């Protein structure tokens, strides 16, 4: 319905009862691809983690004649950007176009040097896909038990990014005007457009989080949202059911350039709450020419009107005369498909089914592909360890401590205990990923086997992780380090008996309490024995010795 056809009178709109509001939400997501150079130019791309230019804000150093559209400068296609886009498309179950072309999208804006953007209009590279998205649990982890919502992917097309405007001076000072930063201009940008299949802010956030994980897992982007590597633009309107059964749809609002999941949720919730009231006030309904764009004011928690949204004809699309049609051969697509890693949800499901890993635990491991692969490699090593090692002095084979292989479920839980407790604590202290702590899969597996064999206490396992994470300990054998440091559990009965006798003699009052029936007091004595042993005594054996000696 257009904004004028069969509009309800103002007095009727003001009094009519709105019986229900059904949100209708689609997403447009802009993904800056992590290529070394820009989409159609040789200039370095700021979205690449290894970019050495490190431009200062507003310095405008990542430019060349192609980005600036200087006379005689011609664009050349970035092959890697196409490969990364196909990877994302395949991960989103898209069809890949056998032929695709490039179009000029014309509009005038200060951050667009050429006065047009090279994009794709009617022949996108990736199209007709979908993503099955689980809900989020109470702690924010994906809920694999609660069912999935299928979100259709209309298209994922390649284009070049624009620059950006800054409305304050570097450092945050006020200025009279705006500054133009063109370092980002020309960066490869994959725009993903969904069907309006999302029905709530929570569903939209779950979709955005999963999409970011996928894009990062396949290596398409660094995904640092504060740097603009991924920008989310929800398109929101509502179907209002009025008293008497009539339904009306509000105009679509597109909220631009959101760079946090909190902002996505807040903007959608705000629009759902406000759109019924706007309809009562204006009478505008969904139709051509009614779409608007708004910005998000994070401080006030409101959307702010920017402009009416252009329709496709306003951009005067036409094929770019400087770029030929791109032919995407099936063999190339299959080669790219072969490089797809196991994706996040597939991995979470496998962990749940094979090792019983819970959703909250899996959420910690799945954020970074390197973390997930480190965990899997450590589990594999525990299941099938190298059972012997050669002594460098005599060449004889020696049995490793804790080297016996165990079942996969038990191995998974043993490795999870080390990674999610000891390694995660250290990663949190250092502000790095789990893999960034510095332990390799073989070392983590060795520590897990030591714990499973009861050869080391939990406290000393933590000390061992810290030691192995220090410079110079790369690849060192955990059992050897633990033995040298005296962290392995001591089962020498003579040594333990000596510590037990010392503690009993030093604590006669506690001994009498235990003899009087206060059995929980034995814990204090166990703690003292463990302290004398440096945490290396076998706590179970110590308890048995204490009870035996006190009882006699």
Mark whether 376 and 522 lie in a shared domain.
no
Quote the number of domains for the chain: 3
Distances (CA, A) of 98 to 39, 86, 296, 346: 20, 11, 39, 28
423-471 confidence digits (pLDDT tens): 999 999 999 999 999 999 999 999 999 999 888 988 899 999 999 999 9
Computed on alpha carbons and rounded to an integer, the radius of gyration of the chain in Å comes to 31
CA distance 376 to 366: 11
What percentage of the chain exceeds 90 in pLDDT?
Answer: 68
Mark whether 289 and 348 lie in a shared domain.
no
| DSSP letters for 168-236 | E-TTS-EEEEEEEE-TTTT-EEEEEEE-S-B-SHHHHHHHHHHHHHHHHHTTS----GGGTSEEEEEEE
Mark whether 445 and 546 lie in a shared domain.
no
Residue range(s) defining the domain that contains residue 417: 344-485
DSSP label at residue 313: G
Place 79 in a pLDDT band, splitting at 50, 70 and 90.
very high
Q: 497 near 467, Cβ under 8 Å?
A: no
Mark whether 211 and 266 lie in a shared domain.
yes
Is pLDDT of 401 > 60? no
Q: Which of 264, 296, 326 is the last residue of a domain?
A: 326
Q: Give the mean model confidence (pLDDT) for residues 362-374.
A: 95
- Residue 334 is assigned to a structural domain of this protein: no
Q: Which of 291, 326, 361 is the last residue of a domain?
A: 326
Q: What is the pLDDT of residue 492?
A: 61
119-154 confidence digits (pLDDT tens): 999 999 999 999 999 999 888 899 998 889 999 999
Determine which of 1-10, 236-245, 485-494 has the lowest per-residue pLDDT on average: 1-10
Determine which of 38-42, 185-189, 382-386, 460-464 has the lowest per-residue pLDDT on average: 382-386
Mark whether 125 and 259 lie in a shared domain.
yes
What are the backbone dihedrals phi and psi of residue 37, each rounded to the nearest 5 degrees, phi first?
Answer: -120, 175
31-72 confidence digits (pLDDT tens): 999 999 999 999 999 998 776 554 565 678 899 999 998 999
**292 or 51: which leads in pLDDT:** 292
Q: 303 near 295, Cβ under 8 Å?
A: yes
- Residue 120 is assigned to a structural domain of this protein: yes
Q: Which of 449, 465, 485 is the last residue of a domain?
A: 485
Mark whether 368 and 302 lie in a shared domain.
no
**1 or 328: which leads in pLDDT:** 328
Mark whether 516 and 425 lie in a shared domain.
no
- Residue 545 is assigned to a structural domain of this protein: yes
Q: What is the pLDDT of residue 540?
A: 77
Is the C-alpha dihedral spanning 110, 113, 119, 122 positive or negative?
positive
What are the backbone dihedrals phi and psi of residue 394, each rounded to the nearest 5 degrees, phi first?
Answer: -120, 0
- Residue 331 is assigned to a structural domain of this protein: no
- Residue 112 is assigned to a structural domain of this protein: yes
Mark whether 361 and 310 lie in a shared domain.
no
Mark whether 31 and 173 lie in a shared domain.
yes
What are the backbone dihedrals phi and psi of residue 482, each rounded to the nearest 5 degrees, phi first?
Answer: -65, -40
Mark whether 169 and 109 lie in a shared domain.
yes
Q: Give the mean model confidence (pLDDT) for residues 369-394.
A: 75
Determine which of 15-19, 252-256, 318-322, 524-528 has the lowest per-residue pLDDT on average: 524-528
Determine which of 1-15, 55-69, 175-189, 350-364 has the lowest per-residue pLDDT on average: 1-15
Regarding beta strands 116-119 and 388-390, do their DSSP bridges make them parallel or antiparallel, or are they unpaired?
A: unpaired
- Residue 339 is assigned to a structural domain of this protein: no
Mark whether 244 and 363 lie in a shared domain.
no
Place 391 in a pLDDT band, splitting at 50, 70 and 90.
very low
Is pLDDT of 1 > 60? no
Q: Give the mean model confidence (pLDDT) for residues 391-395.
A: 39
What average pLDDT does the structure give for the chain? Answer: 89
CA distance 487 to 495: 15
Q: Is 499 helix (H, G, I), strand (E, B) or coil?
A: helix
- Paired with 149 in beta bridges are 133
Distances (CA, A) of 345 to 44, 131, 217: 33, 11, 11
Place 313 in a pLDDT band, splitting at 50, 70 and 90.
low
Mark whether 219 and 153 lie in a shared domain.
yes
- Residue 267 is assigned to a structural domain of this protein: yes
Q: Give the mean model confidence (pLDDT) for residues 329-349.
A: 97
Is pLDDT of 390 > 60? no
What CATH number is associated with residue 508?
1.10.10
Q: 134 near 143, Cβ under 8 Å?
A: yes
Is pLDDT of 328 > 90? yes
Which residue, 370, 382, 451, is CA-closest to 412? 382
Place 394 in a pLDDT band, splitting at 50, 70 and 90.
very low
- Residue 5 is assigned to a structural domain of this protein: no
Show contacts of 57-65: CB within 8 Å, 24+ apart: 57/166, 57/170, 57/181, 58/166, 58/170, 58/179, 58/180, 58/181, 59/183, 60/180, 60/181, 60/182, 60/183, 61/183, 62/38, 62/182, 62/183, 62/184, 63/182, 63/183, 63/185
């Amino acid at each position: 319905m257009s904004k004028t056809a069969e509009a309800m009178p103002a007095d009727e709109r003001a009094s009519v009862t709105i019986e229900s509001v059904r949100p209708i939400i689609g997403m447009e997501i802009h993904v800056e691809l992590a290529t070394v150079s820009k989409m159609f130019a040789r200039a370095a791309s700021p979205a690449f983690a290894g970019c050495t230019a490190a431009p200062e804000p507003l310095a405008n150093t990542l430019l060349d004649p192609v980005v600036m559209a200087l006379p005689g400068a011609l664009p050349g296609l970035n092959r890697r950007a196409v490969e990364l886009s196909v990877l994302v498309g395949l991960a989103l179950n898209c069809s890949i176009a056998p032929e695709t072309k490039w179009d000029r999208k014309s509009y005038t804006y200060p951050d667009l040097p050429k006065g047009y953007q090279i994009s794709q209009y009617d022949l996108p590279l990736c199209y007709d896909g979908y993503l099955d998205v689980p809900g989020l649990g109470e702690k924010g982890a994906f809920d694999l038990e609660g069912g999935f919502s299928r979100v259709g992917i209309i298209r994922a097309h390649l284009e070049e990014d624009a620059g950006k405007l800054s409305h304050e001076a570097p450092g945050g000072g006020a200025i009279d005007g705006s500054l133009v930063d063109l370092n980002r201009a020309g960066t490869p940008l994959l725009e993903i457009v969904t069907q309006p299949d999302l029905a709530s802010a929570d569903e939209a956030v779950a979709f955005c989080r999963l999409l970011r994980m996928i894009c990062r897992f396949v290596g398409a982007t660094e995904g640092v949202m504060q740097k603009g590597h991924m920008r989310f633009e929800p398109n929101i309107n509502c179907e209002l059911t009025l008293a008497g059964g009539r339904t009306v749809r509000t105009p679509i609002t597109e909220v631009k350039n959101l760079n946090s999941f909190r902002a996505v949720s807040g903007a959608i919730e705000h629009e759902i709450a406000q759109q019924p009231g706007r309809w009562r006030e204006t009478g505008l309904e969904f139709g051509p020419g009614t779409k608007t764009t708004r910005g998000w004011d994070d401080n006030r928690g409101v959307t702010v009107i920017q402009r009416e949204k252009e329709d496709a004809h306003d951009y005067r699309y036409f094929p770019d005369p400087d770029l030929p049609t791109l032919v995407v051969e099936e063999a190339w697509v299959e080669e790219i498909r072969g490089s797809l890693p196991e994706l996040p949800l597939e991995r979470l499901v496998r962990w749940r089914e094979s090792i019983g890993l819970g959703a909250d635990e899996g959420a910690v491991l799945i954020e970074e592909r390197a973390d997930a692969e480190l965990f899997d490699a450590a589990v594999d090593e525990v299941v099938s360890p190298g059972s012997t090692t050669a002594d460098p002095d005599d060449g004889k084979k020696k049995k490793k401590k804790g080297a016996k292989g165990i079942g996969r479920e038990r191995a998974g839980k043993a490795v999870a205990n080390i990674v999610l407790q000891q390694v995660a604590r250290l990663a949190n202290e250092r502000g790095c990923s789990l893999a960034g702590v510095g332990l390799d899969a073989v070392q983590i597996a060795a520590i897990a086997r030591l714990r499973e064999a009861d050869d080391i206490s939990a406290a000393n396992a933590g000390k061992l992780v810290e030691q192995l994470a220090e410079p110079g300990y790369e690849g060192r054998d955990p059992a050897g380090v633990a033995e040298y440091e005296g962290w392995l559990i001591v089962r020498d009965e003579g040594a333990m008996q000596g510590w037990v006798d010392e503690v009993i003699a030093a604590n006669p009052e506690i001994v009498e309490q235990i003899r009087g029936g206060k059995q929980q007091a034995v814990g204090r004595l166990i703690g003292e024995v463990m302290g004398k042993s440096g945490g290396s005594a076998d706590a179970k054996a110590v308890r048995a010795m204490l009870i035996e000696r006190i009882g006699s």
